[in-house]
Chains A and B, each alone.
Chain A
């Protein structure tokens, strides 16, 4: 059985998900079932289902406007969706369904924020914080959201910068240049 399957369609049938690496284990990290999302009258996601196992690298490919970004934004609850469910490491996120009435409730902002802390997201245009320098951009979330001690977070940030070959960049310089 393939560990990743995708049923249904993004709004363009040519979109598809390609599996890059075989799953080292069968633990389901991300599971999407029957996701449906529309902007007004335009149905962007039509019954999208997929599963991603731990360690797996998945690429979603499709022409622009086919709903790739919308799919990612739904996972992170940056978009609301009308139907379907998303589960991360076994835990449903975003919505909770009342067992008796079958009614769907959006989780509280606090719960959603907590879920987002475990999900990494890189935006198409990076969306760096322009009023912070490179180092502040990297440590903002660990320090302010997760409560990592600042010195520790900065040391880790420098390690990461070195890892991607940016150790030469002055980490306290403006972010505008860093984006390029």
Chain B
């Protein structure tokens, strides 16, 4: 096992990088989800102007690679005079980017509810807010759960891009170790295994949510 000596020696360092990855992913996923649901609701119920604005946002963000967006904002920030810590800068970019995808997933969930469910809720005299809360969203979230979990997994992996703008997390830590140890295969096998573990755990938790919590029984 001598070949894996470099990995074993630096494993703790990589794990600290992984902690940073998880922290960054969580910080981005929460606002991305909230903003995404909001976008989906405004997309469906908003006026014509609101709808065009949201469509523009979606097409723009979905059409630009995240790496390009991160780099662009990285160079843009100093020019605008906005003094945001780099960590929050990338968290902001990632959450705005993923909100676009998440909103489409939730919109699909809401729109795939049969018209009959809306009719039933309306005929009971429910106002729109109540209808959304107790009839539409509980069912729509269930429908949207599988693709939503996939997006969260994708978001975790997307944080590896931030090393390009100098933020330290698992990928950056791995590159540092590789420069020191000159053992790229071992180190990146380790990094891949850590990424896989995080994503696998997330996917498993997602399945658990789908079955237990969202189905209700």
* Chain A residues packing against B (C-beta within 8 Å): 73, 76-78, 109-110, 113-119, 121, 123, 125, 127-131, 140-141, 144-145, 174
Sorting the interface of chain B by its residue count into under 10, 10 to 19, 20 to 34 or 35 or more gives: 10 to 19
Check A123–B125 contact: CB distance below 8 A. no
Cβ contacts under 8 Å, B123 to chain A: 76, 78, 116, 119, 121, 123
Cβ contacts under 8 Å, A129 to chain B: 117, 120, 135, 139
Nearest opposing residue in chain B for A114, CB measure:
B125
Check B122–A116 contact: CB distance below 8 A. yes
Cβ contacts under 8 Å, B64 to chain A: none
Check B217–A174 contact: CB distance below 8 A. yes
How many interface contacts (CB-CB < 8 Å) are there between A and B?
Answer: 58
Nearest opposing residue in chain B for A124, CB measure:
B116
* Chain B residues packing against A (C-beta within 8 Å): 116-117, 119-120, 122-128, 130, 134-135, 138-139, 142, 216-217
CA of A37 to CA of B120 in the docked complex: distance in angstroms? 21
Cβ contacts under 8 Å, A128 to chain B: 120
Cβ contacts under 8 Å, A130 to chain B: 139
Known pairs A140-B134, A174-B217; A127 contacts B124 (CB<8 A): no
Check A131–B139 contact: CB distance below 8 A. yes
Distance in Å: Cβ of A23 to nearest Cβ of chain B: 26
Check A144–B130 contact: CB distance below 8 A. yes
Cross-chain pairs A/B with CB under 8 angstroms, 5 sampled:
A113-B125, A140-B124, A144-B134, A145-B124, A145-B130
